[in-house]
Amino acid sequence: MTDETDRKPAPGASTNRRRFLTGTLAGGAAIAASGGEAFAQRKRKPIGPNPDNQPPNVPEWSKVLGDGVASHPYGKPSKFEAHVVRRDVEWLTASRESSINFTPLHELDGIITPNGLCFERHHGGAAVVSPFDHRLIIHGLVDKPLIFSMDDIKRFPRTNRVHFLECAANSGMEWRGAQLNGCQFTHGMIHNVMYTGVLLKDLLNEAGLKPTAKWLQVEGADSSGMNRSLPIEKALDDCLIAFKMNGEALRTEQGYPLRLVVPGWEGNLWVKWIRRIEVGDKPWFAREETSKYTDLMSDGRSRRYTFVMDAKSVVTNPSPQAPFTAKGRNVLTGVAWSGRGHITRVDVTLDGGRNWREARIDGPVLDRSMTRFYVDFDWAGNELLIQSRAHDSTGYVQPTKQELRAVRGVNNIYHNNGIQTWLVRANGETENVEIS
């Protein structure tokens, strides 16, 4: 078996990461300006109302036959939903291949992210991998090294799990203050999907772990390799090797034909296009380009092993990209999640934290999954300062940004789970702000 650990990371991979950091922290003014422009464009709906199609008239679509069943072998969203797309921010990273786009959270409801709208994070672009030639190799501290084809993997017992995947850098641009005007950009490095796959534990047991096995090095088949170190306890606990998302094959962008699912842990460990697992007795951090996934503290020390994503929430509507359009009856909604368990409660304030009320949770409440909440209320047209605060099954309560900064400083971009504030103006216009 060939050992390919000496493969080079994608050209410029580490410099891109550095630029991501400086671009973020230095470019505050530019960020706010371009965010506003993009916001104005998004507000213009591509297709508007037409009174000829409204009562008492007979609308045009009632006068003609619709498309036949052979017209759309694979269905797409209605043309009226063309604005519901992943979006990226051009200045954020130096290249399109080592980059990121964002889930349009403000356009979604329930808890499942549709496959075509799941944010993408690549370090070497999205690899197009043939399932006929793809193999998963398990070697290192095992009794017998194994090579699995896709068919081999699909013969193991399957399991279905709904989990969120959040990039550790989600909300990272907001560490120093409110920056981006829209929850798509402040919180959109997350998706929530039902995975079908097999337990990683079953594949490891098939190879037979040696008693000295402590860490896995996991590698993807894309040009970045995305080598990550995973402790054996987590691998044997609940990790999946998944081949389906929301019932259908993984999308190319999400790692087709095979990805690692690491419930509750930061996104960079969820290796896509997974091709190799080397079992070892120590972590490979020193060799990892992405070992910079550590949290730099104000005193220059860094937090490491910050694998778990703490409880977090965001109000998706209203938000800068989805303002209230009328006074009176309105639906406020959002999502909450925790990498340590399930969401037990979400509080919402409309007046910047003076009064809190418990939001109504609706839909499935699952372990390490997004949970949907609502507040149904009458808006008098007054200014609002909206926040949400998540509680999880460990008793943890989502902190304010001030509380986070007091502990971690501001020289950081990872693991920002602080409470988000939206300012709703009397005309409905909604802005990303911070209050102290």
Site residues (CB under 6 A) for ligand MTE? 118-123, 165, 167, 191, 220, 222, 224, 226, 253-254, 267-268, 270-273
Three state DSSP letters for 21-44: HHHHHHCHHHHHHHHHHHHHHHHC
- The residue within the footprint of Mo ion, chosen from 167, 384, 413, 424 (CB under 5 A), is 167
| 121 lies in the site for Mo ion, by CB under 5 A | yes
Task: Give the closest residue to 170 by CA, choosing from 416, 387, 435.
Answer: 416
d(CA 332, CA 362): 13
Kindly tell me which of 173 and 226 has the beta carbon lying closer to ligand MTE. 226
Q: Which stretch binds Mo ion (CB under 5 A): 173-181, 262-270, 316-324, 425-433?
A: 262-270
| 290 lies in the site for Mo ion, by CB under 5 A | no
**34 token code pair:** 């371009």
How far is the CA of 140 from the CAs of 7, 152, 224, 286, in angstroms? 17, 20, 21, 18
Site string for Mo ion, 71-110 (x = CB under 5 A): ----------------------------------------
Q: From the CB of 255, what's the least distance to ligand MTE, in Å?
A: 6
Residue 282, phi then psi, degrees to nearest 5: -145, 165
Kindly tell me which of 148 and 293 has the beta carbon lying closer to Mo ion. 293
Kindly tell me which of 148 and 195 has the beta carbon lying closer to Mo ion. 195
Crossing angle of helices 28-43 and 13-26, in 10° steps, is 90
DSSP per-residue letters across 385-400: EEEEEEEETTS-BPPP
| 191 lies in the site for Mo ion, by CB under 5 A | no
| 122 lies in the site for Mo ion, by CB under 5 A | no
C-beta contacts of 348-351 below 8 A and 24+ residues apart: 348/315, 348/373, 348/375, 348/386, 348/387, 348/388, 348/389, 349/385, 349/386, 349/387, 349/389, 350/377, 350/384, 350/385, 350/386, 351/384, 351/385
Task: Give the closest residue to 34 by CA, choosing from 177, 176, 179.
Answer: 179
| 268 lies in the site for Mo ion, by CB under 5 A | yes
Burial of 71 (0-12, 13-18, 19+ CB in 10 A): exposed
Residue 103 near residue 184, CB atoms below 8 Å: yes
Q: From the CB of 189, what's the least distance to ligand MTE, in Å?
A: 6
Kindly tell me which of 368 and 391 has the beta carbon lying closer to ligand MTE. 368
Task: Give the closest residue to 419 by CA, choosing from 295, 317, 336.
Answer: 336
d(CA 414, CA 316): 21
Q: From the CB of 209, what's the least distance to ligand MTE, in Å?
A: 23
The secondary element (H helix, E strand) that includes residue 422 is strand 421-424
**368 token code pair:** 């390490």
| 228 lies in the site for Mo ion, by CB under 5 A | no
| 194 lies in the site for Mo ion, by CB under 5 A | no
Q: From the CB of 397, what's the least distance to ligand MTE, in Å?
A: 25
| 338 lies in the site for Mo ion, by CB under 5 A | no
Q: From the CB of 274, what's the least distance to ligand MTE, in Å?
A: 7
How far is the CA of 81 from the CAs of 65, 77, 78, 104, 287, in angstroms? 22, 6, 5, 12, 44
**167 token code pair:** 């990039």
Q: Which does 277 bind (CB under 5 to 8 A by kind): Mo ion, ligand MTE, none?
A: none
Q: From the CB of 227, what's the least distance to ligand MTE, in Å?
A: 9
**160 token code pair:** 């279905």
CB-based closest residue to ligand MTE: 220
Kindly tell me which of 148 and 256 has the beta carbon lying closer to ligand MTE. 256
Size of interface with Mo ion, in residues (CB under 5 A): 4
Kindly tell me which of 253 and 347 has the beta carbon lying closer to ligand MTE. 253
Q: From the CB of 126, what's the least distance to ligand MTE, in Å?
A: 8
| 226 lies in the site for Mo ion, by CB under 5 A | no
Residues 37-66 that bind Mo ion (CB under 5 A): none
Q: From the CB of 100, what's the least distance to Mo ion, in Å?
A: 8
Q: Which does 86 bind (CB under 5 to 8 A by kind): Mo ion, ligand MTE, none?
A: none
Kindly tell me which of 268 and 349 has the beta carbon lying closer to ligand MTE. 268
Q: Which stretch binds Mo ion (CB under 5 A): 30-38, 159-167, 216-224, 333-341?
A: 159-167
Q: From the CB of 184, what's the least distance to ligand MTE, in Å?
A: 14
Q: From the CB of 168, what's the least distance to Mo ion, in Å?
A: 6
Residues lying near Mo ion in the complex (CB under 5 A) are found at: 121, 167, 267-268
